[in-house]
Amino acid sequence: MTEEERQKEMNLPDDIRHAVREDRKLVYKGSILDVYSDSMLLTDGGREKWDFVSHRKGAAAVLAVREDGQIVMVRQYRPALNRWTLEIPAGARDSVNEDTKITAMRELREETGYICKSVKPLLQLKSTVAFCDEFIDVYLADGLRERQEQILDEAENIFIENWDLDALIDKIRRGAIQDSKTVAAVLAYALARR
């Protein structure tokens, strides 16, 4: 769906107004993220500073279902939360031009050791729309092959776990899984199976 189609889906009146960015200043340039300070003109004529985080490359994730119906998950420590999380495999694109299908298949192989025949689109999402433009294309893995050794980055410590769909939905309900891409992917997959 294009950006124009997304806006049409909102059914907003043609004359509705919104804040306008007057200026943007780069505050921090990181390895994958840039942080900006935006000067905004508000609809009432006032002005405010808003923070904006740009995720330059975008990302892909993959929901991999084994032949026995178990969903392949990864458990890893996330410093931002200072705790371990249970997530679907995911990662950033190697370049802004990399097809996210390639990213999804690579991340599945590297993080879990599983290889898949192909991936098909499950959903597209923006992880944090209030202040960040990161997009994540989420795929469903098809034709999963037996697990091989993981290919982890030096700083990665990832454990592979296989979970039943109903158990994952229960974890989401109880707040044990809070990662947005994982919540969205598991629920989208559950809906698609109806």
Residue burial 72-102, b: 16+ Cβ < 10 Å; e: rest: bbbeeeeeeeeeebbbbbbbbbeeeeeebbe
Cβ neighbors of 95 (< 8 A, separation 6 or more) are: 57
- 154 catalytically annotated: yes
- Give how far Cα 72 sits from Cα of 52, 67, 163, 175, Å: 33, 11, 7, 19
Tokens 């769906």 correspond to what residue?
1
Name the catalytic one among 48, 154, 156, 161: 154
Q: Which residues are catalytic?
A: 154
